[in-house]
Structure 1
């Protein structure tokens, strides 16, 4: 009897939102693996099998590349989870069995109650301030964001339900110094009418591991260079779907 499969619409939607073909996506996965020193053989056929549901979950080497390319935890990419954090493919004789998924997708607060000991993974509150020259007033932008860490690289993406605009940061950690870039796609129905802004950011991580604070720099509508304060405040070490659903709400 043939086994019914359920298409992975979440992964397909993420890939489509990145405006990548299946070939483009596979090449990005290969590049991410190469940069991390974990080469993989991602190809269009593999992406098709994931999206069709023929493969319910990726091997760990692919899971890590998927998180790097999409900036999202594996728990949000529509793959099956099994008890103990192992992927379905692992349970059926997949390779890389020495790399458990439990450290990638669903760490529990009992194991990592704070963002300490070199790990910044989890849910954070992002808050920055900016001055609007057109309104002659200062404002604050707030998002709940999910942080995925691979080595010294942090991929930060806003949870879409937490704010009308979308935010992403790509950061590198060097001790207590966190440096990188940011991109914000503003609310299409808001004052900036969906304009896309980007710039650089540098933060200092506090020894407690519960806060990063620093400055952003970026350009204004008249091509002038602006700057302002930015902070990330730790909320939860888990990146499980249940945890992210809890924070995927408007910030009061």
Structure 2
């Protein structure tokens, strides 16, 4: 049974019933049960191809999408590269379902490990292009980016893996509290050059959670880091509101941050990931260097607008 016959059948109508309902709605264009028979036999040689007007009327009659009526016909979307990208992304996402077997999860991890970041970005952009208005797409992608960054920093990942909570978190240690010098590198697409952004930040620690807030900067820019500290690594998110009078005119950017902690606990070095002005995925180096342990107001004032 093809879709045109199936959609009639689920309403409990015979071909004559369907014809009667058609004639009630469109008396100026009467049809008989034979018309329905011909449409339902198509694309067999004994059938007649329904016109777009007919399909539109059938969709209204059966309360379905016009596309539903021809869903069983030829489909050549797999020849289109954009459709293949969407399918590949869906397969990747489906691979993380709760019912996924160990083999499926291992396959997904291998696929992600082998995938290039730019390729994933291209696939995701193709998928997002089908979400509606440009503003909605960007909003959704940024929300997904922030959600994934927070998930990466969550201690729930340790619980899922069955690993013990870090000694730092368990002891409520404040070994990383203090004032740090923050420096990251970025490539400006519009100016085609690498730049360095520096801040002094005051960091406070609650168990395995470290929050660093930028001290007053001479340019007016503000930076904030939220890290899950699990020596020898720290994972989390960054957020910066750029200088109001600078090149980026006070724009706000955010992303993910992964750092390796030096055994001394006095420096961290890693990479940041985030979106650029044109919503390209960018990355670069980020370092944190410890300055002093005090977080008092007087200690903070020493670093006000030093950069």
TM-score scaled by length of structure 1: 0.52
- The correspondence for 1:233, drawn from 289, 293, 301, is 289
Map 1:118-197; keep pairs closer than 5 Å.
119-161=175-217, 163-197=219-253
State the partner residue of 1:6. Answer: none
Change in Cα spacing, 1:163 to 1:154, as seen in structure 2 (3 Å) is farther
Q: Deviations over 1:56-85 (max 9, x none)?
A: xxxxxxxxxxxxxxxxxxxxxxxxxxxxxx
Q: What secondary structure sits across from 1:243 in the alignment? A: helix
Once the two structures are TM-superposed, the CA of residue 195 in structure 1 deviates from its matched residue by 0.6
Change in Cα spacing, 1:152 to 1:187, as seen in structure 2 (3 Å) is same
Q: Deviations over 1:96-153 (max 9, x none)?
A: xxxxxxxx9xxxxxxxxxxxx7610000000000000000111000000000000000
Q: What secondary structure sits across from 1:247 in the alignment? A: coil
User: 1:175 and 1:184 mapped to 2: Cα distance?
Assistant: 25
Once the two structures are TM-superposed, the CA of residue 228 in structure 1 deviates from its matched residue by 0.2
Map 1:49-128; keep pairs closer than 5 Å.
119-128=175-184
Change in Cα spacing, 1:156 to 1:163, as seen in structure 2 (3 Å) is farther
Once the two structures are TM-superposed, the CA of residue 175 in structure 1 deviates from its matched residue by 1.8
User: 1:132 and 1:250 mapped to 2: Cα distance?
Assistant: 24
State the partner residue of 2:64. Answer: none
8 Å CA contact retained: 1:127, 1:140: yes
User: 1:184 and 1:161 mapped to 2: Cα distance?
Assistant: 12
Q: Which has the higher helix share?
A: 2
8 Å CA contact retained: 1:213, 1:232: yes
> In the comparison of the two structures, how many residue pairs are matched?
136
- The correspondence for 2:256, drawn from 197, 200, 218, is 200
Q: Deviations over 1:165-216 (max 9, x none)?
A: 1000111011211000000001111000111100000001101111100000
State the partner residue of 1:95. Answer: none
User: 1:248 and 1:242 mapped to 2: Cα distance?
Assistant: 10
Q: What secondary structure sits across from 1:250 in the alignment? A: coil
Q: Which has the higher strand share?
A: 1
State the partner residue of 1:61. Answer: none
8 Å CA contact retained: 1:144, 1:162: no
Q: Which has the higher contact order (CA 8 A, sep 6+)?
A: 1
User: Are residues 1:223 and 2:298 paired?
Assistant: no
Map 1:23-42; keep pairs closer than 5 Å.
none
User: 1:148 and 1:130 mapped to 2: Cα distance?
Assistant: 26
TM-score scaled by length of structure 2: 0.43
State the partner residue of 2:269. Answer: 213
Q: Which runs of 5+ in 1 are unaligned?
A: 1-103, 105-116
| Runs (4+) off by over 6 Å | none
8 Å CA contact retained: 2:174, 2:205: no
Once the two structures are TM-superposed, the CA of residue 162 in structure 1 deviates from its matched residue by 5.2
